[in-house]
Amino acid sequence: MEIKRIILGMQMLFVAFGALVLVPLLTGLDANVALFTAGVGTLLFHLVTKGKIPVFLASSFAYIAPIGAATHLYGLKGTLGGLVAAGFVQIFFAGLIKKYGIAIVHRFLPSHVIGPVIIVIGLSLAPVAIGMTKNSDGQLNNVTIALIAMCTTIFISLFAKGTFKLVPILGGIIAGYTAAFFFGLVSIQPVIDAPWFSIPAFVMPEFDWRAILFIIPVALAPTIEHIGDIMVISSVTGKKYYEDPGFHRTLFGDGIATSFAGMVGGPPNTTYSEVTGAVALTKVFDPRVLQISAVFAILLSFFGKLGAFLQTIPAPVMGGIMIVLFGTIASIGIKNMVEHKVDFTSNKNLIIVAVILIVGVGGASLSFGQFTLAGIGLSGLAGVVLNIILPESNDNKDIAGDPEETNYEKLG
């Protein structure tokens, strides 16, 4: 059983690895530090949430642009101080939920808001998945490799038996990697050049109020995304994690993980949709598997050759797999609205869902000076605001003329 958990834990880390190291590569942070903080952050989260939830935390995409801009304005150390503060913003939100209960979440994030936000989480990542399947020249080899990885993952998920059914992603990676090797897209030189042992380049933060005020508004986006992810994993497993251990604990754990990352020079952490999709696909709901993934991430941050080997996995391999995983997340958002019987005869609900989807997927952004809100954060905020200000529909009569009004499920 322990060997099986170890294999499954490695599989989950493979799923997270590409996006995990992409954020530090795009922001100028150290990839090994990102691995270390992802592992420690995940373990801190599991400690805070009593080890009940099968999630993995790693580098948040919501902070990529703000980190770049803040580093230019206030330097790396000042930016890290802002990231530490952003984690405490999430802890503050956790305190509000603790004080006022889950009703405050239902009040501002009912199913006709959170459902489309979950869909946006999946669909907004679609260009990332597709982009990984091709390069600027659109080579056929890359598409072929992506298809091999994707089809192998689907085949194992649907038709494999026993233990093999639990590792469709690992099977897809092996098949795709093998094909990529024969196509000449794999170079082992980075593995040869990498040292066996290296200490991550940790950096301590400095606290500059200008950088803090610049960064902390960004915390809204991962907060909304986190709530969506917890709703997703609750739906996948059939357990109400938003009640036990509760949003106040999960959000507190997310905030602690983000603040810890900022303290040592890593990118902010958040619950990973890729891994949530993998949990949904494999039906592996044991939190200990994700704790093993976290331990592997910490070990890899110190062992250069192992980390270098993972980085040799070609992007098309992971892109083919991500198509399935990100699509799974979007499908769960639809499932959430179906299960909660969201009434689409209500003009209010229809408008809210429509705006969230188009704003979230269409690439809309809103800027205030040097601060920009976009993607999941902006679409979620738009949904919350519309849900508050729009009146309840009064045109929900039966179309045949029945005067009895439709009954709505009241959340919160």
User: Would 178 be classed as within a structural domain?
Assistant: yes
Separation between Cα atoms, residue 344 and residue 337, nearest integer Å: 10
Kindly report, residue by residue over 379-409, the tens digit of the pLDDT: 888 998 999 999 976 655 443 344 334 343 4
Sorting pLDDT into bands at 50, 70 and 90, what band is 370?
low
Q: Are 318 and 19 contacting, i.e. CB atoms less than 8 angstroms apart?
A: no
User: Would 405 be classed as within a structural domain?
Assistant: no
Sorting pLDDT into bands at 50, 70 and 90, what band is 286?
very high
Residues whose CB falls within 8 Å of the CB of residue 330, separated by 6 or more in sequence, listed in order? 118, 119, 121, 122, 123
Mean pLDDT of 225-243: 87
User: Would 394 be classed as within a structural domain?
Assistant: no
pTM (predicted TM-score): 0.72
Separation between Cα atoms, residue 163 and residue 171, nearest integer Å: 12
Separation between Cα atoms, residue 70 and residue 210, nearest integer Å: 9
User: Would 246 be classed as within a structural domain?
Assistant: yes
Q: Is the pLDDT of residue 351 over 50?
A: yes
Q: Is the pLDDT of residue 83 over 50?
A: yes
Q: What is the pLDDT of residue 325?
A: 78
State which of 28-42, 174-188, 246-260, 367-381 shows the largest mean pLDDT: 246-260
User: Would 396 be classed as within a structural domain?
Assistant: no
Sorting pLDDT into bands at 50, 70 and 90, what band is 38?
very high
Higher pLDDT, 227 or 368: 227
Q: What is the pLDDT of residue 412?
A: 40
User: Would 364 be classed as within a structural domain?
Assistant: yes
Sorting pLDDT into bands at 50, 70 and 90, what band is 369?
low
State which of 46-55, 61-70, 114-123, 204-213 shows the largest mean pLDDT: 46-55
Kindly report, residue by residue over 108-135, the tens digit of the pLDDT: 888 898 889 888 877 877 887 888 887 6
Separation between Cα atoms, residue 52 and residue 285, nearest integer Å: 10
Q: How many domains does the chain have?
A: 1
Q: Is the pLDDT of residue 236 over 80?
A: yes
Range of the domain at 333: 2-389
User: Would 249 be classed as within a structural domain?
Assistant: yes
DSSP label at residue 205: -
User: Would 398 be classed as within a structural domain?
Assistant: no
Sorting pLDDT into bands at 50, 70 and 90, what band is 307?
low
Separation between Cα atoms, residue 162 and residue 38, nearest integer Å: 30
Q: What is the pLDDT of residue 371?
A: 61
Q: Are 110 and 383 contacting, i.e. CB atoms less than 8 angstroms apart?
A: no
SS3 251: helix
Separation between Cα atoms, residue 222 and residue 86, nearest integer Å: 10
Q: What is the pLDDT of residue 393?
A: 65
Sorting pLDDT into bands at 50, 70 and 90, what band is 255?
very high
Q: Is the pLDDT of residue 197 over 60?
A: yes
* Angle value at C-alpha 17, between 334 and 47, nearest 5 degrees: 75
Higher pLDDT, 260 or 411: 260
